[in-house]
Structure 1
Amino acid sequence: MKNRHVLLIEDNLELQTLICNFLKDYNYTCSAYSQPLEALKEFETNHLKYAIIILDLGLPRMDGFDLFKKIKEIKNTPIIISTARDDIGNKIYGFELGADDYLSKPYEPRELVLRIDATLKRYTNDDVLEMDELLIDVNNKRAFLEEQEIEFTKIESEIFFMFIKNINKVVSREDIVNQTSLKNDTKNRTIDMHVSNIRFKINDDSKEPKYIKSVWGIGYKFIHDH
């Protein structure tokens, strides 16, 4: 599933509401901030959940270009500049800093959606998966439940990310033993115990599992509807 969470930094509250409502109509999730320092704090804490940033330049207490640089120091998330500064000097500077696009106000919200779509097509977001309250950073092997990092043991992490690597495919008990640190411990009960712990940590009900389904006589399947 592609990440479709937008961070909007725009101090015009009327425009902010308009953009957010429009994005929701196109199946984007929008989190909006009018104060740059609040937006920066949010991005520092939850940068993994955002696919793209829409950034106004004329912000209170901090110039948009300064905020742009601080954001890029945290994570190289794509940024579209949305601003009334339409002179060529600002455009050139924005692209030199690494902006993915530059939209001069006023513009139709539909154009912004098209620019977002085009920008995200250039990026592969498969390294971050969103599943309801779960957020999974595949590359760095980190998982978050309701924005709190899940503390897996070494073996739990190995099994969990093995499931993630094989989403919607059956993973056999034999594969779990051979491809994790379990190696010599082939007892089914040991595997079941680790999977039970994983289920508990990702808030998955063992009686009516949403993610990890048991496949009788074989192993497990991690379900995710794309």
Structure 2
Amino acid sequence: MRLLLVEDDDHVAAALSAVLTRHGFHITHARSGEEALRSLVPDSECFGVVLLDLGLPDQDGYEVCGKIRKLTATPVIMVTARSDVRSRIHGLNLGADDYVVKPYDTGELLARIHAVSRRTVQEDPATGAESTALLLGPVRIELPTRQVSVGGAAVQLTRKEFDLLALLAQRPGVVFRREQIISEVWRTSWEGTGRTLEVHVASLRSKLRLPALIETVRGVGYRLVAPAG
């Protein structure tokens, strides 16, 4: 797996790169936010995971995470000394898939990398190449091509339906607040758009023919329950 390590301390990066390389990762090291973003532009090298330090010399790591989310759905793990709950919540709300506090156990970091990558990376058996996809039982979500299939049969979704499904599918079992979904999918505030969200959820359930796939958490929001099979 190709991994983008965003870390301005060369000594820390060298030590971590050595460990990750021994475990089969191919490392690209970026020393700044700008360098990281250049590595992730369309048509550049495809990464399975981004390890993002927050204390970067040119930009705050939170800002970089937000920009990464606009470029790619590649999983982002924040690695930082900021251990307070508010910082963790802020990072996850910006789109990070996980948050690891320094100092950390290397074994735990490796486990977290594999955990987030399992949801997005599958090897094409014909070519041996990695492709970015979310696999949830019979549901396959191709992020780069924005294609969805259930049991191998293609399902036609609107742009917002796909964005909603992809958002929920990136963290199965996690409850997304209605306000958060509206903010991330529609890029607007909750006021006046609640009915729009309900309509899109109903449409997804109907088109996918899996009514239990998206669970309503009363008074809070929605979560995706991965089906078997």
Matched, 1:89 2:86: yes
How far the C-alpha of 1:116 sits from its partner, in A, is 0.4
Stretches of structure 2 that go unaligned for 5 or more consecutive residues are 134-141, 146-229
User: Aligned equivalents of 1:9 and 1:37: distance in 2?
Assistant: 10
Structure 1 counterpart of 2:21, one-letter code: K
Please state whether the residue corresponding to 1:49 is helix, strand or coil: coil
Question: Where do 1:1-226 residues align within 5 Å?
Answer: 4-47=1-44, 49-126=46-123
The C-alpha deviation readout for 1:86-110, integer Å capped at 9, x for no partner, is 1111101011112111000111222
Stretches of structure 1 that go unaligned for 5 or more consecutive residues are 142-226
The C-alpha deviation readout for 1:117-141, integer Å capped at 9, x for no partner, is 111122243479986xx88789668
Please state whether the residue corresponding to 1:55 is helix, strand or coil: strand
Please state whether the residue corresponding to 1:62 is helix, strand or coil: coil
More contact order relative to length (CA 8 Å, sep ≥ 6): 1
Structure 2 counterpart of 1:38, one-letter code: E
Structure 2 counterpart of 1:29, one-letter code: H
Structure 1 counterpart of 2:101, one-letter code: S
Shift of the 56–35 alpha-carbon distance from structure 1 to 2, 3 Å rule, reads same
- Bigger radius of gyration: 1
Structure 2 counterpart of 1:15, one-letter code: V
Identical-residue share of aligned pairs (%): 32
Shift of the 16–130 alpha-carbon distance from structure 1 to 2, 3 Å rule, reads farther
Shift of the 119–113 alpha-carbon distance from structure 1 to 2, 3 Å rule, reads same
Shift of the 57–30 alpha-carbon distance from structure 1 to 2, 3 Å rule, reads same
Q: How many pairs are equivalent?
A: 136
- Normalised by the length of structure 1, the TM-score is 0.54
The C-alpha deviation readout for 1:54-97, integer Å capped at 9, x for no partner, is 00011011000110011110111100000011111110101111
Structure 1 counterpart of 2:32, one-letter code: Q
User: Aligned equivalents of 2:118 and 2:83: distance in 1?
Assistant: 25
Are the equivalent residues in 2 in contact too, given 1:129–1:135 (CA < 8 A)?
A: no
Are the equivalent residues in 2 in contact too, given 1:51–1:125 (CA < 8 A)?
A: no
Shift of the 15–93 alpha-carbon distance from structure 1 to 2, 3 Å rule, reads same
- Normalised by the length of structure 2, the TM-score is 0.53
Shift of the 44–130 alpha-carbon distance from structure 1 to 2, 3 Å rule, reads farther
The C-alpha deviation readout for 1:3-37, integer Å capped at 9, x for no partner, is x1100001111110111111111111111111211
Are the equivalent residues in 1 in contact too, given 2:76–2:97 (CA < 8 A)?
A: yes
